[in-house]
Amino acid sequence: MVNETTITEFFLLGFSDLPELQILYFVIFLSIYSAALVGNFLLILTVVQNPSLHSPMYFFLVNLSLSDACYISATVPKSMAISWTNSKLISFSGCVMQVFLVVTGAGTELTFLIAMAYDRYVAICHPLQYTVIMNRNTCVQMAAASWISSLINAVIHTANTFKLHFCRSKIKQFFCDIPQLLMISCSDITASVVVLLSETIVVGSFCFCCIITSYGFILSNVLKIKSAQARSKAFSTCIPHLTVFCLFLSTAMFSYMRPKSMSSGSMDLMAAVLYTILPPLLNPIIYSLRNKEIRVAMQKMSKKLFGFCLMI
């Protein structure tokens, strides 16, 4: 029998074994990580510094940006270290922490996107009751529920994964991903797979239904607006949110629900990049470029702090 207690570290998948390409990937990851952190923290600073943006919509956007900064920090720095040092090792405790942070980041991403969809629904479909429904206490409670539920969910999945015994140490992914960890376990993974698939289907379906229902009501109300300018403003606040949600949910569900027959190294790698790296990178870009209020506020803040206007 294999000594199942000897696995104290894992080997992650690098993007390349060629030194020249490793340097290239390090530069690419460094650029992506820097852009994501700068974009998200700039968005947070812009909202915090501008009282005119202290509304529920931007409150949830700040939480989403904070979540994105943590989410991308769970995977990209380790990938940069692998490309720079060519050491693909990650300790057992480091792998546990990475799984916990990735699941937490994915959970907060979903819950805050749903909260933002509900906010847009109330703002467009019930404008006269907006300040009553989306009051300060409600927003704080929704944000707290998002963070707490995501943390609890991460604890459950992390414990459910690492209660297993592992007889192999090579993970075919650039970070510790639950489906890949299940593949190298020598324990009976039936219960773990059932839990993972059940939650993915239930949560994914629930989130999808919430978003579709919200935007169904929003679309029907927007089409009733006679003013073309008002319709354009309403769509400009909704389309970026819907784009981000569809990209994130589709790639995440594909990664966690696809059968083993559809699994391949390059496909798994691409899907993981799409749902772990792209959303934190694109969220601040999409929301700042598509939102006039954010653009104007960023330009004013940059002129005040740096003496020049950002060209957004």
Contact 189, 172 (CB under 8 A): no
- 151 confidence band (pLDDT: 50, 70, 90): very high
Whether residue 253 has pLDDT greater than 90: no
How many CB atoms within 10 Å of residue 232?
Answer: 11
pLDDT band at 256 (very low <50, low <70, confident <90, very high): low
**Number of helices and strands (H, E) in the chain?**
12, 2
Burial category of 121 from C-beta neighbours within 10 Å (exposed 0-12, middle 13-18, buried 19 and up): buried
Higher confidence at residue 250 or residue 133?
Answer: 133
Distance CA 22, CA 75 (A): 16
Give Rg (Cα) of the chain.
Answer: 21
Overall average pLDDT of the 155-162 stretch? 90
Residue with tokens 């000897």: 6
- 245 vs 204: CA distance, rounded Å: 11
Residue 14 has pLDDT above 80, yes or no: no
Q: Which residues pair with 11 in a beta bridge?
A: 89, 170
Q: Which residue's structure tokens are 């319709």?
A: 231
How far apart CA 147 and CA 73 sit, in angstroms, is 17
Assess whether pLDDT exceeds 50 at residue 158.
yes
pLDDT of res. 200: 77
What are the φ and ψ backbone dihedral angles of 106, each rounded to 5 degrees?
-65, -40
Taking the C-alpha atoms of residue 48 and residue 51, their distance in angstroms, rounded to an integer, is 7
Element (H, E) at 90: strand 89-91
The average pLDDT across 71-77 equals 92
Mean pLDDT of 182-199: 83
CA distance linking residue 71 with residue 277, whole number of Å: 8
The pLDDT confidence band at residue 258, using thresholds 50, 70 and 90, is: low
With b for 16 or more beta-carbon neighbours within 10 A and e for fewer, the 77-91 pattern comes to: ebbbbbbeeeebebe
CATH topology of domain 9-306: Rhopdopsin 7-helix transmembrane proteins (1.20.1070)
Q: Quick one: how far is CA 87 from the chain centroid? A: 27
| Other CB atoms within 10 A of residue 47 CB | 24
Q: In terms of Cα–Cα distance, which of 240, 230, 229 is closest to 290? A: 240
Give residue 185's pLDDT. Answer: 85
On average, the pLDDT of the chain sits at 82
Say if CB 74 and CB 33 are below 8 A apart: no
| Residue 86 DSSP symbol | -
Q: What local confidence, expressed as pLDDT, does residue 4 receive?
A: 46
Which pLDDT value is given to residue 1? Answer: 42
Best mean pLDDT range from 147-161, 186-200, 266-280: 147-161
Within 8 A by CB and 6+ apart from 147, the residues are: 63, 108
Q: How confident is the model at residue 263 (pLDDT cuts 50, 70, 90)?
A: low
Rounded mean pLDDT, 259-280:
72
- Give me the mean pLDDT over the 127-138 stretch: 91
Higher pLDDT, 253 or 30: 30
pLDDT value for 307: 62
Range from 4-13, 188-197, 241-250, 289-298 that averages highest in pLDDT = 188-197
Among 236, 212, 240, 203, smallest CA distance to 103 is for 203
Strand partners, 185: 166
Q: pLDDT tens across 30-55, in order?
A: 999 999 999 899 889 888 888 888 88
Are the beta carbons of 87 and 296 closer than 8 angstroms? Answer: no
**Of 151 and 284, the one with more pLDDT:** 151
Q: What percent of the chain has pLDDT over 70?
A: 87
Q: Are 14 and 83 in contact (CB under 8 A)?
A: yes
- Which residues, including other chains, have CB under 8 Å from residue 87's CB and lie 6 or more apart? 81
